[in-house]
Amino acid sequence: SFIRFGVPCPLPSLDSQEDAKDPGLHTFSHTHMRKAFRLMNDLRSRRMLCDVLLVAGEVEVPAHRVVLASCSPYFCAMFTGDMSESKAHHVEIRDVDGQTLLKLVDYIYTAEIEVSEDNVQVLLPAASLLQLMDVRQVCCDFLQTQLHPTNCLGIRAFADLHACTGLLSQAHAYAEQHFTDVMVGEEFMALSLQQVCSLISSDKLTVSTEEKVFEAMITWIKHDKEARLEHMPKLMEHVRLPLLSRDYLVQIVEEDPLIKNNNTCKDFLIEAMKYHLLPADQRHLIKTDRTRPRTPVSLPKVMMVVGGQAPKAIRSVECYDFQEDRWYQVADLPSRRCRAGVVYMAGKVYAVGGFNGSLRVRTVDVYDGLKDQWSSVPSMQERRSTLGAAVLGDLLYAVGGFDGSTGLLSVEAYNPKANEWMLVAPMNTRRSSVGVGVVDGKLYAVGGYDGASRQCLSTVEEYNPVSNKWCYVADMSTRRSGAGVGVLSGQLYAAGGHDGPLVRKSVEVYDPATNAWRQVCDMNMCRRNAALAWFLFGKLHCSSYSVELYYCNRRSIPIQHRFILSSPFNLFYPDGVIWICASTEMDFGRLFYYFIFLNIKPP
């Protein structure tokens, strides 16, 4: 028997007849089937040789049984079985609207169909009914490309309803990876208790801090407070309060009226406070679901290197694939750019300001990894190169920099929703080649170069977005301009940099809780204008010509994991006081570039 679409349709075997023939010239026409179907479709359009009329509502679709049966197991079973439809000329198709049926029959004859936002929700269930699995898969693929924080939960529910397991998994993973944006949408507010618990209990949830999970829970309850307040203890089981900062627990959680009026919730708060009272090296003794850090699958898959000088400003963008251990090119920047600020926010890469080889620029380009293309958003209000760029809350901050004549005090913030830049409070000190980092809802500007006094800086400023004010915190132990600055485990690291002609390899770390800096192990190489970034398993990557990786815990990852830029790169274990070198190279070396980690893999 001949099997098509998994349904046996009896056809005579030609094998024995062919075997009996004398061997001769064997030919195969690649156009024969296409011509045949084109002719059958032409006959259908003229209602010639049609032996069935499909009816859906007021729409009538003439067709040939043999064509329908050969392409659809649904029609094959209908026309070859004992059902009354097998002999009927008029066949009513229920649960499919007329225009959708017409599109699907057209597809059977032409192998062409257009899937769009307007028809995908009726096309997919109809294709499922008629067992046109290719069309069903195209619909799923289309919906995957449409995933967005505002619709991923709806697409997940739609996929679940129609047993599209692949799309269901993709939509659920998308919701986990973009939870910060999903939690403020209407679809999240409409979830059931069970669905919210399932989402916020996931180890794979991607959040910058556990504060986002607490805020999501409170917002969901307040959306229908009368009906949902009783669910508060159940939801609090899944909020990992011990992982919140002590200040947030005391100032926000403890003061929340919903917590104050619920004894069970107070018990969760007490558990979290006890956790914070323990010395850091004893906290692992408290083992509950709420003390276990989340391990999102959206942790970086690739490292992206953006622009730079080689020896002039370049457009090149390269990615390093951690799993495949290889470098590859992605879409170039729209224009040459080095000394820019580069950040990853809401699934997009932003290249902010910089130097194009002749001018400091205020333009901002955005990379979409799913489409592998760059686009532009509104420019900053000032030209900036060697600036600091960071994401705090829902805003992208551009801090200080150099405009071509002087270091800048000014700071501006970009709001993606409003698609505009706005000036915020200026710093107290002009800073170009400044490092920035975000810890516990505060933005830090570290070191840099003061063009007015022509000095490299050891001073550090803290920005509070609530009060819109900058204030000084403890100075670093040494002056650092062009230091790599990154955040790991709630602490701020400053690596390398220079003080005039002296380029440093020392590293120091700032603890906001004690307002103090301390030295940690030096890097192998002296570095200036280095990028420093946090990556999975508690390590820091530092990069200028090469990369050095700082490991927070030597036991958390095997040594054979290699993550590299141009040669060499190093792995640092703070409790082991060693750097380990390995080597691999980009296509070409570059200066004044920045790298970030992406949780999607560009094509």
Beta bridge partners of 455: 450
Higher pLDDT, 388 or 246: 388
pLDDT number for residue 278: 86
Task: With CA atoms as reference, report the closest residue to 475 among 455, 500, 490.
Answer: 455
Judge if 459 and 576 occupy the same domain: yes
| Residue 426: both structure tokens together | 């200026």
Q: For residue 296, tell me if it sits in a domain.
A: no
Omega within 30 of 0 (cis) for the link into 568? yes
269/411 same-domain check: no
Residue 537: which pLDDT band, with cuts at 50, 70 and 90?
A: very low
The pLDDT value given to residue 568: 32
Rounded distance between C-alpha atoms, residue 56 and residue 76, angstroms: 19
Residue 290 lies in a domain: no
The answer to whether residue 292 sits within a structural domain is no
- Sheet strands side by side (includes 388-392): 388-392, 395-399, 411-415, 420-424
- Residues 383 and 280 grouped into a single domain: no
Q: Is 166 part of a structural domain of the chain? A: yes
Looking at 188-202, 369-383, 581-595, which range is the least confident one?
Answer: 581-595
Query: Which contiguous run of DSSP H or E holds residue 305?
Result: strand 302-306
Show which of 170, 195, 213 is a domain's final residue. 170
- Mark whether 145 and 187 lie in a shared domain: no
SS3 at position 431: coil
Q: Among 142, 170, 198, where does a domain finish?
A: 170
Q: How far is CA 579 from the centre of its chain?
A: 31
Beta strands in 433-490 (DSSP E): 435-439, 442-446, 449-450, 455-456, 460-464, 469-473, 484-488
CATH number at residue 19: 3.30.710.10
- Are 558 and 446 found together in one domain? yes
Output the pLDDT for position 208.
75
Residue 252 dihedral angles phi and psi, to the nearest 5°: -110, -60
User: Band of the pLDDT at 601, cuts 50, 70, 90?
Assistant: low
Instruction: Tokens for 208, please give them.
Output: 């910058």
How many CA atoms within 13 Å lie on the side-chain side of 354?
A: 29
Q: Which domain holds residue 233?
A: 178-285
Rounded CA-CA distance 532/507 in Å is 11
Residues 405-444 have pLDDT tens digits of 999 999 999 999 999 999 999 999 999 999 999 998 999 9
Residues 532 and 467 in one domain: yes
Contact 486, 437 (CB under 8 A): yes
Claim to verify: residue 151 and residue 184 sit in the same structural domain:
no
CA geometry: angle at 264 spanning 261 and 269, to 5°? Answer: 85
In a domain, 55, yes or no: yes
Q: Can you tell me the mean pLDDT for 272-282?
A: 84
Phi-psi sector, 515: left (phi>0), alpha (psi -120 to 50), beta = left
Q: Dump pLDDT digits (tens) for 12-29.
A: 444 444 455 556 788 888
> In this structure, are 558 and 480 located in the same domain?
yes
Whether residues 112 and 183 fall in one domain: no
**Quick one: 346 and 268 in the same domain?**
no
The two tokens of residue 134 are 């290719």
Q: What is the CATH number of the domain that holds 479?
A: 2.120.10.80
Q: Which residue from 202, 204, 195 is spatially nearest to 231, judged by alpha carbons?
A: 195
CATH number at residue 248: 1.25.40.420
369 assigned to some structural domain: yes
Residue 37, amino acid: F
Residue where a domain stops, chosen among 143, 170, 197: 170
Alpha helices in 358-423 (DSSP H): none
Query: DSSP string covering 108-126, please?
Result: HHHS-----TTTHHHHHHH
How far is Cα 79 from Cα 324, in angstroms, rounded to an integer?
50
Percent of the chain with pLDDT over 90: 58
Helix (H, G, I), strand (E, B) or coil at 451: coil
Give CA separation, 402 vs 22, 385, 409, 410, 435, in Å. 84, 5, 10, 10, 13
Position 549: which residue type?
Answer: L
Q: Is residue 70's pLDDT more than 90? A: yes
Candidates 135, 137, 138, 155; CA nearest to 146 is 155
Q: Is residue 141 domain-shared with residue 267, that is, in the same domain?
A: no
**Number of independent structural domains in the chain:** 3
Q: Are 192 and 142 part of one and the same domain?
A: no
pLDDT for 94-105, tens place per residue? 999 999 999 999
Q: Is residue 78 part of a domain?
A: yes
Q: Would you say residue 603 lies in a domain?
A: no
